[in-house]
Amino acid sequence: MAWPIGCAIPDTVNQQAFETQNSERWNQIDRLTGVLRKKRTAEGAAALPSLYRQLCADIALAQHRMYGARLCGELNERLIRCRQVLAHPDEGGGRGFTRLILRDFPRAVRREWRLFWLASLLFYGPFLLMILAAYLEPRWIFSVIGPQEMRMMDGMYGSSDARDFMRDEFGSDFGMFGYYVMHNTTIGLRMAGAGLLAMVGSLVAIGFQGVVLGALFGYVHYAGNPWSLYTFAASHGPFELTGLIICGVAGMRLGQAVLKPGRLSRGAALAEAGRRALPLIYGGALLIIFAAFIEGFWSAGPASPSTKIAVGAGNALLLTLYLCLCGGKENREA
């Protein structure tokens, strides 16, 4: 068969030698990726990164020498499987979730400690100022919350029993839990997403939530029973408020990449910020969900006020120790 002038001729002889020469290494890659997709470790797994780099070179050479669609397709599929194993070496069987809880999330919070304290100031500052303003001039309350919120506060922290009111409102403890998950998690995720507006969105969202919560507390001080509010919120409050603040921190981290990308392009800076913010978003949302579980099944329960206060203090201490100590020290190259 004659080939047109200037057209590269496939070298079938060299292709057979190429396949024979490298087949043992390719079989080794297949064996390792097959085992590692099912188990956490395999004999010889430490060699997989080196084998991956050699496989990349094999693909480039096969394409350059025009070894055909069959061989190039097989090598590409092998490369994809190898890449998936290297990118997610131990995600199976819940290990990724365990690693998030026990290592990645607390480390991420400590890494962003400056933003965490800034977000805390932005939240608790307006919160306390709003309570003070409501005490001095109640009209501040009515400029922030409406009749629906006031009705809820009256039912939960007025003269009636909070548990009876909430059962009438939500139908069951599980209904309360579901409502708190939907409502509070939505707020947290909005705070994280708002950071993409050059960080301003998260700053405003954090401060706004502080103002709204301060107005609700101020209303109970004005027209309800503050002691019932504090005993109700004591147990779940540390998890819920900290989770909201951490979601705000994630948004601020994303916003910094948009506002100040440094030497990277904004796209690359945002991708890097997303990698750092993702554990914060996951962890903050999990704290909020855990708080909703406590709020739905414990906070309005029959336990004595002193017990609820003690549980709340213990939860705050455990959360502080978890965020400060869990996960150990981080390698600086990360």
Report in angstroms the alpha-carbon separations of 206 from 24, 102, 125, 173: 58, 26, 10, 29
Q: Give the model's pLDDT for residue 44.
A: 78
Q: Is the same domain home to 16 and 132?
A: no
Average confidence (pLDDT) over 19-32:
89
Q: Is the same domain home to 265 and 298?
A: yes
Please check whether residue 281 lies inside any domain of the structure: yes
> Which of 53, 70, 89 lies at the terminal end of a domain, its last residue?
89
DSSP label at residue 103: I
Q: Give the model's pLDDT for residue 72.
A: 87
Q: Give the model's pLDDT for residue 210.
A: 96
Q: Is the same domain home to 83 and 101?
A: no
Q: DSSP for 217-228?
A: HHHHHHHS-HHH
Is a pLDDT exceeding 90 seen at residue 267?
no
Is a pLDDT exceeding 80 seen at residue 170?
no
**Helix ranges (DSSP H) in 171-294:** 173-193, 200-223, 226-234, 237-259, 266-294
Long-range Cβ contacts of 83-89 (<8 Å, 24+ apart): 83/52, 84/33, 84/37, 85/32, 85/33, 85/36, 85/37, 85/48, 86/48, 86/49, 86/52, 89/36, 89/40
The separation between the first and the last C-alpha atoms of the chain, rounded to the nearest angstrom, is 57
Report the helix count and the strand count for the chain, using DSSP H and E: 15, 0
Q: Is the same domain home to 222 and 205?
A: yes
Q: Give the model's pLDDT for residue 3.
A: 43
The single-letter code of the amino acid at 168 is D
Selected residue with higher pLDDT from 249 and 261: 249
Count the domains in the chain.
Answer: 2
Q: Is the same domain home to 189 and 293?
A: yes
> Which of 68, 89, 110 lies at the terminal end of a domain, its last residue?
89
Please check whether residue 2 lies inside any domain of the structure: no
C-alpha dihedral (115, 119, 122, 124), degrees to nearest 10: -130
Please check whether residue 330 lies inside any domain of the structure: no
pTM flag (> 0.85): no
Q: Rounded mean pLDDT of the chain?
A: 87
> Which of 40, 65, 89 lies at the terminal end of a domain, its last residue?
89
User: Residues with Cβ < 8 Å from 307, sequence gap 6 or more?
Assistant: none
Which band of pLDDT confidence, cut at 50, 70 and 90, is reported for residue 162?
low
The count of other CB atoms within 10 Å of the CB of residue 288 is 27
Q: Is the same domain home to 47 and 165?
A: no
Please check whether residue 5 lies inside any domain of the structure: no
Is a pLDDT exceeding 90 seen at residue 136?
yes
Q: Give the model's pLDDT for residue 7.
A: 45
Q: Is the same domain home to 73 and 117?
A: no
Q: Is the same domain home to 41 and 152?
A: no
Is a pLDDT exceeding 60 seen at residue 159?
yes
Sign of CA dihedral 212, 172, 311, 318: negative
User: 38: domain range?
Assistant: 12-89
Is a pLDDT exceeding 80 seen at residue 42?
no
Q: Is the same domain home to 41 and 106?
A: no
Q: Is the same domain home to 76 and 161?
A: no
Q: What percent of the chain has pLDDT over 90?
A: 47
Q: Which of 37, 64, 61, 65 is nearest to 29 (CA)?
A: 37
Q: Give the model's pLDDT for residue 11.
A: 58
Q: Give the model's pLDDT for residue 318.
A: 97
Q: Which of 219, 212, 214 is nearest to 191 (CA)?
A: 212
Please check whether residue 1 lies inside any domain of the structure: no
Please check whether residue 334 lies inside any domain of the structure: no
Q: Is the same domain home to 202 and 126?
A: yes
Q: Is the same domain home to 143 and 233?
A: yes
Please check whether residue 72 lies inside any domain of the structure: yes
Render pLDDT for 61-113 as a digit per residue (tens, 0 to 9): 888 888 888 888 888 889 888 888 887 655 555 667 888 999 999 999 999 99
Q: Give the model's pLDDT for residue 152.
A: 86
Q: Which of 24, 27, 32 is nearest to 89 (CA)?
A: 32
Selected residue with higher pLDDT from 299 and 40: 299
Asked whether the beta carbons of 131 and 214 are under 8 A apart, the reply is yes
